[in-house]
Amino acid sequence: MRALWTAGTGMMAQQTNVEVISNNIANMSTTGYKRRRAEFQDLIYQNMRRVGSQSSDTGTTLPQGAQIGLGVRTAAIYRIHEQGNLNQTENKFDLAIKGNGFFQVTLPSGETAYTRDGTFGLAADGTIVTAEGYTVQPGIVVPAAATDVTINSAGEVLAKIAGTEAAQNVGQIQLAVFANEAGLEATGDNLLMSTPSSGAAQQAAPGQPGFGNVMQGFIETSNVNVVQEITNLITAQRAYEMNSKVITASDDMLSTITHLK
């Protein structure tokens, strides 16, 4: 009874689908979060009559075959890098990227991670850091005597020093882009790591061709569409129920056979 196993793969696939949707909904308020989408593929087929095989001694061939599918499997879970809304916070160290690119963060291990979460602050020595205290590359230090800080769309950090008229340029934030953003590996804490699939990071100042602009006093919200996710959840739930009905029907058929006299 192939239907038992086939429907079982369908239930497991829809369970994965629901888990992806639930993660999207859970992160609907996560800064810079990009929603995920599960993709599925059909499994191998068993040939009862192979299409194109010879059907007689005269050389005639079957115009159509008879194949029975063995179910479904999860092929990939895509991350959709669609721009989220920009929410104004009035915090001078909150930054949002309008367009392509990622902020670069130095981890305690020395590795570079990438993020769209621009909720930054200052360390004790004035270095611009993430909410976890990781240094935002290239390691810009705001002087302790600064009375105001402006970060323009090109990522230049301009500090107004007490007793001076002109703002001092203390550094410029660099962005990174990838040939295949979907190939980045999520590690939690709103951080992504490069992989062989993503390709090497290409770095440049904000506003350069192919790179987005930086907006001070804004954060990028999650791009999760709650209405769409609830609709997908209902669809996945119904698909799960239908696969369970197939298992019930297959069990009833097997029960009928066992009661034959």
pLDDT tens per residue across span 33-67: 999 999 999 888 777 777 777 767 777 777 777 77
Residue 78: partners with Cβ closer than 8 Å, 6 or more residues away: 36, 37, 38, 39, 182
Q: Measured between alpha carbons, how far is 144 from 163 in angstroms, rounded to an integer?
A: 13
User: Does residue 46 contact residue 67 with C-beta atoms inside 8 Å?
Assistant: yes
Nearest to 97 by CA among 113, 80, 77, 120: 120
Q: Output the pTM of the full model.
A: 0.83
Token pair, residue 70, equals: 């063995």
What letter would DSSP give residue 52?
Answer: T
Amino acid at 95: L
Residue 218: partners with Cβ closer than 8 Å, 6 or more residues away: 86, 87, 88, 89, 94, 95, 96, 118
Amino acid 37: pLDDT = 93
Q: Give the angle 132-194-122 at the CA atoms, nearest 5°.
A: 25
User: Does residue 216 contact residue 98 with C-beta atoms inside 8 Å?
Assistant: no
Mean pLDDT, rounded, for 125-137: 91
Q: Helix H segments across the chain?
A: 2-26, 226-258
Amino acid at 129: V
- Whether residue 232 is predicted with pLDDT greater than 90 in this model: the reply is yes
Amino acid at 99: G
Q: Which residue has the higher pLDDT, 30 or 259?
A: 30
